Structure 1
Amino acid sequence: MAAAAEFLADPAELATFLKKPADDVQLLAALRAATRRFRGAVRHPVSLVTEDTTYVDGNGRATLHLPAAPIVQLHEVLVDDVPLPGVKAKRRSGVLLHPSGCWPEWSEITLFWDHGHDPVPDEVAEAVIDQARAIYRLDPAIQQITTGTESVSFAATVAVGVTSQWQAAVEANRLNRGDEA
């Protein structure tokens, strides 16, 4: 399996904003953290993953929501280790349609497939760079400052926050929203 790209944005682009070299350790750590945060929010890798093997459970319905999107290529689908030809896919949304009925409950569905974006959508890269810039500038070591009788506390999660750009990119790329009801 070819793993997803390490970053959802180009380190050189972040380096331009921060006026640092693209191999700066703190810059790369901030970009890695922003990438992990975005992937966690949307619940899938976003960038291209090839030759992936994924196991999901049958659900007794005609459609099966996959844990990543878009579907680039569906190589093979097995139901309890038996090949199932004729599976149709809604590529953009990561949904499979059973060719002749429903995905059997209590069955193991094995997918051999490629999924994700190549290149990563511009709005995702922009949101990740914006978040990485905020993470880079945050000094998590400073949690409280006291001067005389006054004290101010900082929380890293509040200081970073999210922008409307981030929220829009997450909403456009998030999967499996059914658990929010």
Structure 2
Amino acid sequence: MAAEDEFLADPAELAAKLGRSEDDPKLLYALRAASRRFRGQVHHPVTFVADDVVVLDGSGRESLLLPVWPVTAVSAVVLDGTELVEGTDYNWSDAGILRRLGCLHWPDRLRCLQVTYSHGWNGWSEIPGDIQEAVLERAEAGLTIPVGVQSKAVGGQSVTFGAQAAAGATEAWTKAVDRYKVRASAEA
């Protein structure tokens, strides 16, 4: 697996901030752990996935949301066993909106729609900055904040760490997870 697929942020950025080598095993472990944690909390890889197949419930509405965005391609939409035609039966947007065309609505039935689509970002240059920042913050905390320690005094200086920083649930982390987590197949 290439580093751009494994990590959700550039190891060189974390290395520069912390004054470490970008091939430092502890730095790479912390970044890998933060990337895995983010992926686990949003329930998808974030990086590019080609031809992902999902089965969706119909909404009874004209539009519905695909679970993961950005959408880069929709290669097939099958409704109750019949393949639909893009531009005639449906259209889609990179925001993950799948719209029924011709004054029609998606049926209001469970598991009636199978969609094959590609989604995600290609490498660090495309991954949104808020994801990268949240992952870099978590990796830095993993390297610099001792687990379970909230306060530390050395030679007359005292440092107190908040529980959020130690656990990784900072406001930036929470906002990024909420923004990019898998969406329910609700109306658009």
- TM-score (normalizing by structure 1): 0.72
Q: Is residue 101 from structure 1 mapped to residue 105 from structure 2 by the alignment?
A: yes
Q: Is residue 33 from structure 1 mapped to residue 33 from structure 2 by the alignment?
A: yes
C-alpha separation in 2, matches of 1:135 and 1:70: 29
The letter for the 2-side match of 1:6 is E
Q: Which moved more, 1:71-80 or 1:106-115?
A: 106-115
Displacement of 1:177 in angstroms is 7.2
What is aligned with 1:90?
A: 93
Deviations 1:26-55, CA, capped at 9 Å, x for gaps: 222221222233234444333222232223
Q: Which has the higher contact order (CA 8 A, sep 6+)?
A: 2
- Kindly, what percent of the aligned residue pairs are identical? 37
C-alpha separation in 2, matches of 1:139 and 1:71: 39
5 Å-filtered alignment, 1:156-175, equals: 159-175=166-182
C-alpha separation in 2, matches of 1:111 and 1:164: 34
* Partner residue of 1:125 out of 128, 132, 141: 132
What is aligned with 2:62?
A: 62
Displacement of 1:129 in angstroms is 0.7
C-alpha separation in 2, matches of 1:157 and 1:132: 14
SS in 1 for 2:69: coil
SS in 1 for 2:115: strand
Q: Is residue 12 from structure 1 mapped to residue 15 from structure 2 by the alignment?
A: no
Change (3 A) 1:54 1:117: same
- Assess if the C-alpha contact under 8 Å between 2:67 and 2:185 holds in 1: no
C-alpha separation in 2, matches of 1:89 and 1:172: 20
Compute the RMSD of aligned alpha carbons.
3.3
- Assess if the C-alpha contact under 8 Å between 1:64 and 1:97 holds in 2: yes
Structure 2: segments with no counterpart, 5+ residues? 150-160
C-alpha separation in 2, matches of 1:47 and 1:20: 26
- TM-score (normalizing by structure 2): 0.70
Displacement of 1:176 in angstroms is 2.7
Structure 1: segments with no counterpart, 5+ residues? 144-153
SS in 1 for 2:105: coil
- Assess if the C-alpha contact under 8 Å between 2:58 and 2:107 holds in 1: yes
For this pair of structures, how many residues does the alignment match? 166
- Assess if the C-alpha contact under 8 Å between 1:58 and 1:107 holds in 2: yes
- Assess if the C-alpha contact under 8 Å between 1:44 and 1:67 holds in 2: no
- Assess if the C-alpha contact under 8 Å between 2:56 and 2:185 holds in 1: no
